[in-house]
Amino acid sequence: MATVLNRIEEAAVAVDDNNGYRPSADEPFMNPRQQAYFRQKLYDWKEAILRESLGTLSQLQIDSLRESDLTDRASSETDWSIELRTRDRQRKLVSKIDAALRRLEEGEYGYCEVTGEPISLQRLEARPIATMTVEAQERHERHEKISRDD
């Protein structure tokens, strides 16, 4: 646990030291500065999701379905069902973020799991949990579509 906290602190310091830093293609790919940048981005994303989840849990405990009108109760149940589905998707997203953080620690982050090529910085910026280049992802999705159609 202490090593994880140390890494979080190191990433925070690195990002603070590089206020306004954005990874660039002009520097070596996945250098320590880029790694710290993406590590912090992933930690921040995960923290935001967990904060939202805690808010949902608190709200669930406060708001019980007390509506006496059946229509109001059905509407509330529908709203909560949607909220809980969203939280479930975010739970799965947290596990993908954790996997990306593991890849960072193992030195595999930023490289396509299919081709081994670097994933573009623009793609990682837009989707920090990406595991494939755009081209490999497109091939994968085409293959999946063909497999489903069979």
Q: What is the DSSP letter of 67?
A: -
* pLDDT for the residue 36: 97
Q: Give the tens place of pLDDT for each residue, 52-90.
A: 888 877 776 666 556 677 787 777 778 778 878 888 899
Please answer whether residues 111 and 100 qualify as being in contact, where contact means their C-beta atoms are separated by less than 8 angstroms.
no
Confidence of residue 149 (pLDDT cuts 50, 70, 90): confident
User: 33, 19 in Cβ contact below 8 A?
Assistant: no
CATH fold label, 2-109 = Four Helix Bundle (Hemerythrin (Met), subunit A) (1.20.120)
pLDDT of amino acid 63: 65
Is this structure's pTM higher than 0.85? no
Residue 110's alpha-carbon distances to 35, 61, 145, in angstroms, are 9, 40, 26
Q: What is the DSSP letter of 105?
A: H
| Domain boundaries of the chain, sorted by first residue | 2-109, 110-150
Asked if 120 and 18 count as a contact pair (C-beta separation under 8 A), the reply is no
Query: What pLDDT score was predicted for residue 83?
Result: 79
Q: Which amino acid is at 15?
A: V
Please give the pLDDT value at position 103.
98
pLDDT in tens, 86-103: 888 999 999 999 999 999
Contact 47, 12 (CB under 8 A): no
The Cα 34–Cα 120 span in angstroms is 12
pLDDT in tens, 3-45: 444 444 444 444 445 579 999 999 999 999 999 999 999 999 9
Inter-axis angle of helices 70-106 and 32-62, to 10 degrees? Answer: 160
